[in-house]
Amino acid sequence: MKTARFLANPLLTPLDLALVSSFVRNGQLVGIPTETVYGLAADVYQPDAIQKIFTIKGRPADNPLIVHISHLNQLNRLTESPHPLLMRLAEQFWPGPLTLIFFRKPEIDSIVSAGLSTIAVRMPSHPCALQIIDELKTPLAAPSANRSGYPSPTTADHVLSDFDGQISAVVDGGPCLEGIESTVVGFVENQLTLFRPGAIHREAIEDVLHTRLFDPQMKNRPISPGMKYRHYAPRAKVILVEDENDFPKKIENASSYIPKDLNAQNLYSHLRKADQLGYLEVIILLTDSIRSNEALMNRLTRASEV
Ligand code: TXA
Ligand code: MG
């Protein structure tokens, strides 16, 4: 299969929009830009297409997908009687990088949620993602458009480097603004819980709710199925250096890649570049600005755990 590339600047032309939409309607997969990372999108109502996502990503069957909507009124196709606190967060942060966990309506095939009774939903803010969902008038299931376990894609080239020839199209909407995935929040036994730290900081959510978010790590059990798997890691070994004084000793190796000015926006580009250039290890000094970013620290820790 030839993977077609379409340019969105920031929107698709009407002709390209019609083509991209026809792929999705025909049960094919398309890489789409969002403000966080690129997504590998399929029509939420086509289980065979959803199955293809799991297959080409090599995604474990028990890791559920996020469903993307373009209007709040699409939410009632996915869930019933959403909890008022979740709606409060939706009103505050959508469109934007916040994913909320609701109860799943039975008419949404359980493959989307990997068999769970819940469903993850977000409204992205990238104009082209909204444009495509609007045109199709159907929510899109879309995990990050990378091979399972490896760094997420923040450019159309990243998507092609993982899936060229395996998907019908990729829409190039430029580099992702946030560069790191959405924050995932939901209820666990009546407690609002941070399932995955992400582009929206915990404090911003806590400020809106006037309450703390429960932290699953404290109980040491992965409640978001995706959290238990190898994640975000390049082939090169990721080494985190805590103390600046340890740093020079470790960098004398020509096979070491040392990112300059690492931040949430460029993390995945750096990890991918290290592999592309054949480095064996990536050495990262944990500066105060890195340490103070919970989502960035989460991805770095996970990437270094392999
Ligand atoms: O920013 C993002 O969220 C990107 C863009 C494309 O929207 N998507 C993304 O999807 O990061 P993915 O599949 O790479 O990560 C989805 C995360 C996983 O950790 C998964 O376990 C969790 O969301 N998740 C999905 N549905 C869930 C559910 N029903 N309950 C708990 N966690 C869920
Ligand atoms: Mg992912």
pLDDT in tens, 34-44: 999 999 999 99
Instruction: Point out the ligand 1 atom lying closest to the alpha carbon of residue 178.
Output: 1
- Mean pLDDT for 197-212 is 97
- Nearest ligand atom owner, CA of 40: 1
Residue 272 has pLDDT above 60, yes or no: yes
Question: What pLDDT was estimated at residue 245?
Answer: 83
- Mean pLDDT for 197-207 is 98
Residue 207 has pLDDT above 70, yes or no: yes
**Cβ contacts of 230 within 8 Å, gap of 6 or more:** 149, 305, 306
- Mean pLDDT for 130-150 is 98
Question: What pLDDT was estimated at residue 216?
Answer: 78
Question: What pLDDT was estimated at residue 251?
Answer: 61
Expressed in angstroms and rounded, the spacing between residue 192 Cα and the centre of ligand 1 is 17
Question: What pLDDT was estimated at residue 246?
Answer: 78
Total-model pTM: 0.96
- Mean pLDDT for 101-112 is 98
| Angle, helices 127-136/14-25, rounded to nearest 10 degrees | 60
Beta strands in the chain (DSSP E): 4-7, 30-32, 39-43, 66-68, 98-103, 118-122, 140-141, 169-172, 183-188, 191-196, 237-241, 256-257, 281-285
Pairing outcome for strands 39-43 and 30-32: antiparallel
Choosing from 140, 147, 178, 224 the residue with most ligand 1 atoms within 8 A of its CB, the one to mutate for a pocket test is: 224
DSSP reduced 3-state for 193? strand
Residue 154 near ligand 1, beta carbon < 6 Å? no
- Confidence bin at 229 (pLDDT 50/70/90): confident
Please state, in angstroms and as integers, the Cα–Cα distance from residue 80 to each residue in 145, 185, 189, 214, following that order: 29, 17, 18, 24
- Mean pLDDT for 267-295 is 96
Expressed in angstroms and rounded, the spacing between residue 84 Cα and the centre of ligand 1 is 21
- Mean pLDDT for 214-231 is 69
Instruction: Point out the ligand 1 atom lying closest to the alpha carbon of residue 184.
Output: 23
Do 94 and 74 touch, CB atoms closer than 8 A?
A: no
- Confidence bin at 222 (pLDDT 50/70/90): low
Counting every residue, how long is the chain? 306
- Confidence bin at 230 (pLDDT 50/70/90): confident
Can you spell out the DSSP letters for 59-106?
Answer: --TTSPPEEE-SSGGGGGGT-SS--HHHHHHHHHH-SSSEEEEEEPPT
Question: What pLDDT was estimated at residue 220?
Answer: 54
Expressed in angstroms and rounded, the spacing between residue 152 Cα and the centre of ligand 2 is 6
- Mean pLDDT for 160-179 is 98
- Mean pLDDT for 279-302 is 96
